[in-house]
Amino acid sequence: MLYFASTSSDLDDLDAHPDIGVMTGPRVGGLGSILTSQRPWASDCDALSKHGFHYDEFVEHLRRVHDPELIARCQFVVVPDVPGCGRSTLAAFHAAAPELAELGFPLAYCLQDGAEELELPPCDVAFLGGSDPWREAVGAALLERAADQGLRTHVGRVNSARRVRHLSFCHCDSVDGTYVGFRGVERGAREIGSWLRGAADEKLLGAADLRAMTLDPARVARWRERRRPAPRWGEMRQDTPGLF
């Protein structure tokens, strides 16, 4: 499994795990992290950016890295998607993919809520996005379906050892996250390396031995609701009626 970290730092200087690559995007200022090393890299389209998505900026970003040596190490670029809507994302993919394919990059189709009801378009990578309840309900089955069709698979927003461990039992080739952004590059890369080593440990069962199941996203959402913490012994909530 590869982990793409969102950083412009030189991972080679940090002696990071060899399976840690770089996730870049239109708003990444420095490209030194992919220009000065031989690590794999990928590019997001920044559809979730708080600044909003701009297609022209995305294309201009891809032209900055349009170099045969860089393209050879590129795992994928994400075709613009519509967060939370599978049908709109599929329409956006069909609209943008032809132009982006001419640049020569491998293309990733982002699986958004409702994608389980749609056919996968011609692409190189199936990228599992979507809301947390939805992808926890159907994500493993979608990754399995994509792998059965010969596609590479990727999961976004992976920022914990638990998720990396769980995905090591799925048909998941790579993941990405912003962990180093709030943990610090040096410490974050070191910890991500330990996650990857743990995921690579020999297991009794792997993805090829298991069949994914689907759940009801609404039920998963209810499971995820934060329960109100119980008061500690000897404490009373403000809304608790008096005993006398």
Backbone angles phi, psi at 128, to 5 degrees: -85, 110
∠ CA 12-170-155, nearest 5°, is: 55
Instruction: Please return the burial class of 83, using the count of CB atoms within 10 Å of its CB with bins 0-12, 13-18 and 19+.
Output: middle
Question: What does the block give as tokens for 198?
Answer: 């743990």
CB 42 within 8 A of CB 4: yes
Say how many Å lie between the first and final Cα of the chain, rounded.
Answer: 61
Residue 86 lies in a domain: yes
pLDDT of res. 243? 40
What whole-number distance in Å separates Cα of residue 127 and Cα of residue 45?
12
At 228 the three-state DSSP class reads coil
Task: State the CATH number of the domain containing residue 208.
Answer: 3.20.20.70
Does residue 187 sit within a domain? Answer: yes
Cβ atoms of 119 and 151 closer than 8 Å: no
Q: Please choose, from the candidates 200, 197, 159, the residue with its C-alpha nearest in 3D space to the C-alpha of residue 176.
A: 159
Query: So what's the pLDDT on residue 29?
Result: 67
Tally of domains in the chain: 1
pLDDT in tens, the chain (244 residues): 999 999 988 999 999 999 999 999 998 867 778 988 899 999 999 988 777 789 999 999 999 999 999 999 999 999 999 999 999 999 999 999 999 999 999 999 999 999 999 999 999 999 999 999 999 999 999 999 999 999 999 999 999 999 999 999 999 999 999 999 999 999 999 999 999 999 999 888 888 888 898 988 888 888 877 655 655 555 545 554 444 3
Query: In this predicted structure, what is the pLDDT of residue 50?
Result: 75
pLDDT tens string 47-65: 887 777 899 999 999 999 9
- Residue 205 tokens read as 């069962």
Rounded-to-integer distance, Cα 179 and Cα 86, Å: 26
Residue 152 belongs to some domain of the structure: yes
Q: Within a domain: residue 233?
A: no
Query: Does 199 map to a domain?
Result: yes
Residue 231: the pLDDT is 56
- Alpha carbon distance 191, 172 (integer Å): 20
- pLDDT tens digit sequence for 144-171: 999 999 999 999 999 999 999 999 999 9
Residue 242 inside a domain? The answer is no
Distance between CA atoms of residues 130 and 115, nearest Å: 9
Is 234 inside any structural domain? no
List, in order, residues 6 or more apart from 116 with CB less than 8 Å away: 86, 138, 141, 142, 214
- Say if 231 falls within a structural domain: no
**Domain membership of residue 146 as a residue range:** 2-224
Q: Is there a contact between 196 and 177 (Cβ–Cβ < 8 Å)? A: no
